[in-house]
Amino acid sequence: MTTRRIPKGTLPSSMAGNPIAAAPAEATTDQLKDFKEEKVNPEDIGAELLPILSKGLYTDPFAAIREYVQNGVDAGATLIRIKLTGNALSIRDDGAGMSYDDLVRARRFGVSQKNSKQDVGFRGIGIYSGYDLCDRLLLTTSTPGATFQSVLTFNFGAMKKKLQADRAAEISITPLHELIQKHTRFRMNEPIVKAVPGTTVMLEDINPFHINRLRDASALQKYIIQNLPVDFDVAFEHRKTIKEFLKKNVPGYKSVRIQIEINQGENTSVIRPTIPNLGTPDLRVLKSLKTGKPIAALWSCLYKGTEAKKSKIPSDFEDYQGFVYKVKGFTIGDNRKLKGYFKTGGGALYSWHTGEVYVIDDAIVPNTERNDFEASHEYEVLRAELTTTMEDIERSANVFWAEERALAVLRKSQLRLT
C-alpha cells in the first residue's frame, strides 16, 4: 500500500472545509476512490496548442515539406512534384488520394487513422505543419476512378490574427476546436481538370521570412536527398544489390521520384548522387539475441579511394559520409548520430563509409522532432546490436587498409629494387 504524508500546517486556508482537500495526513491509494472525476470540456483545450506544436516542431519550412511528402508516400505515391510559383508552393503526389469523408477526418488534430506499422506519419498533426509557413492552405484530392475531387481549405492567417487579438486583450479563451471549425471549409464535387488520382497541397501567401529559404533550390535538393526516400541514381553500380536487399528485408520499403521546380522552367529530378570507388556492399540484418526478431537492416560501403590516394569519402560527398537511421525511407537525425560507434582513432574510419540503418522494429518509434527515437527497451536492444555490428565493420575496414598499406610498401620496394 502506497502512502503520502502531508506535513502539518501546510494545508492552504482556502481549502479548509473541503472534504477532499482536508484528507487525513496519510492518504492511501485505496482512498483515491473518494476523489471525484470532472468532465473535460472542449473549451478546456486552448487554441494556443496549435502554434505551440506547429511552430515548435516545424521551424524549418523544409520540415513542413517533409510532412506533406510523407503523406504522399504513405498514400502509395511514386512521383511527387514540388513547385514554387511567386509566394505559393505546391506539393503534388500521384498516390491513392482521399474520399470526402477521409478528407474530413484528415482535419482532426492529434488523431490519425494511419497504421504506425505501415505508415511513417501517425500522430495526426502533419497537415498543420504549414501553419507558421503560410496564411492559406488548400488540400485538393481525388481517388482512382473519381470524376470529382474534394477540397479542404485552412485560413491560417485568420487563425493567427484571432490568437494575436486574444493575446493583446490578455485573454486566452478561444478553444482549439472552435478555431479550427471556424476557419476551415470543405467543398466536394469539384470538377477534375485531369483525371489523375492523388493529392495536391497548396501553400499560399507564404511568410516573407520563409520564402527566401524556399527559393534556395540547391538547399532544398540537398535536404530532400538527405531526409526523404529518394531513389539511387541508375548509374550507381550497387543500386540493384542494395534495393533488392532492402525490398526483401524492410517491410513497406518505398522509394519515390521527386521533381522540384523552384525557378521557373528549371525542373530538376532529385536522386541520390553516385559516390565513386565504393566497395562491395556489406548487407546485414540485425536481430535481437533474446528473441531472434529482426530489428534493423543495414547496408554499408567502404570507400576504396584511388590508386594515388587512400582517404575518406571526398568532401564533395561529405553529407553522405557515415551512417544514418532510416524509418520507412525517412531519415531520423543526421549522419553524425552514429559516429560514436566507431572507436579507433577517434572514429577516423567512420567517414570512410557510407550506409544506412533501416529500423524495422515498429516498437522503436521516432520522436516528434524526427531527430532521435523515443526512449524504450527496444531502442536499447538496437543500440546494443549496433555496437557489436559497427565494431565488426570498423575491424574489417582496419584490415582492408592495413593490407592496402602493405601493398603500397611492397610496390614501392619493388620499384626501388627495379
Contact assessment for residue 372 and residue 324, using Cβ atoms and an 8 Å cutoff: no
The pTM for the full model equals: 0.80
Q: Which of 9-18, 131-140, 405-414 has the lowest mean pLDDT?
A: 9-18
Half-sphere exposure for 385 (CA within 13 Å, toward CB): 24
Report the distance separating Cα 177 and Cα 154, nearest Å: 13
Q: Tell me the one-letter amino acid at 378.
A: E
For the ranges 151-155, 167-171, 194-198, the one whose mean pLDDT is highest: 151-155
What does the pLDDT read at residue 402? Answer: 74
Q: What is the residue-averaged pLDDT of the chain?
A: 85
Q: What percent of the chain has pLDDT over 90?
A: 57
The dihedrals phi and psi of 8, each to the nearest 5 degrees, come to -65, 145
Question: Vertex 17, ends 12 and 19: CA angle to 5°?
Answer: 100
DSSP run (H or E) holding 330: strand 330-332
Between these two residues, 193 and 380, which has the higher pLDDT value? Answer: 380
Domains along the sequence of the chain with CATH: 49-215 (3.30.565.10), 273-414 (3.30.230)
Q: Name the helix (H) or strand (E) containing 389.
A: helix 377-417
- Check pLDDT > 50 for residue 350: yes
